[in-house]
Amino acid sequence: MESERLSKLLKDQPSQNTSKDMVAKVYWPEQSHESEPAILTKVQAIAEKNPDVKGHIPEMVWFHKFDETSTASIRKILGIGKPDRGSHALCIIVFRKLAPITTLSGKDLLKGWWHVVVCRYSCFLHVIIH
């Protein structure tokens, strides 16, 4: 499937990742939890200041929440008690495509794993200091 709009969004987003492909996740997150885009924005802010993090986090291309699908509204209409408790809504999130690290071996594998180790330690220090 191809989307002109998404391809344009991808093209306009500078990246070190040479892949031109995207992946979409369709899911029903719990609405009381902080959303994935909100977390990614925070991680992105750390990345802007930290070269160990930059380039080592997923790149979101697009996100949409279908508010009308909220199970809270459905429960409200049906008159089921506590409609907001543990409510979920349908979301779509699109990322620039990545490959599983398990496809690598030897030094490529060790390097890829090490990037994650260093990135996490940097995030960890950031959280401790701030």
Partner 1 sequence: MSTGHRILWMNGILHMDISPSNFMVYKNANNEWIGVLNDYDLSSTEQDSPSGNKRRGTIPFMAIDLLEDEAIEGKVQPLYQHDAESLIWVLAWVCLRYEDGKLRRNRPLNGWLKADAKQCREKKTYFLLVERRKAQPSPSHKAVWDVAQSCLVHVCSLYLAHRKPTLEDEYVYSTWLEADVKPRLED
Per CB under 8 A, residues contacting partner 1 are 16-19, 25, 27, 29-30, 33-34, 36, 39-40, 42-43, 46, 55-58, 96-117, 119-121, 123-128, 130
In the bound state with partner 1, the residue whose beta carbon lies nearer, of 79 and 113, is 113
Q: Are 9 and 48 contacting, i.e. CB atoms less than 8 angstroms apart? A: no
At 26, which amino acid appears? Answer: V
DSSP for 75-97, please give it.
Answer: HHHHT-SSTTTT-B-EEEEEEE-
Angle at 98 between CA 95 and CA 104, to 5 degrees: 170
Beta carbon of residue 11, minimum distance to partner 1 (angstroms, whole number): 15
Q: What is the dihedral sign for C-alpha 97, 98, 99, 102?
A: negative
Beta carbon of residue 79, minimum distance to partner 1 (angstroms, whole number): 26
In the bound state with partner 1, the residue whose beta carbon lies nearer, of 78 and 86, is 86
In the bound state with partner 1, the residue whose beta carbon lies nearer, of 46 and 72, is 46
Angle at 19 between CA 120 and CA 40, to 5 degrees: 35
Beta carbon of residue 104, minimum distance to partner 1 (angstroms, whole number): 6
d(CA 94, CA 115): 23
Beta carbon of residue 119, minimum distance to partner 1 (angstroms, whole number): 6
In the bound state with partner 1, the residue whose beta carbon lies nearer, of 80 and 109, is 109
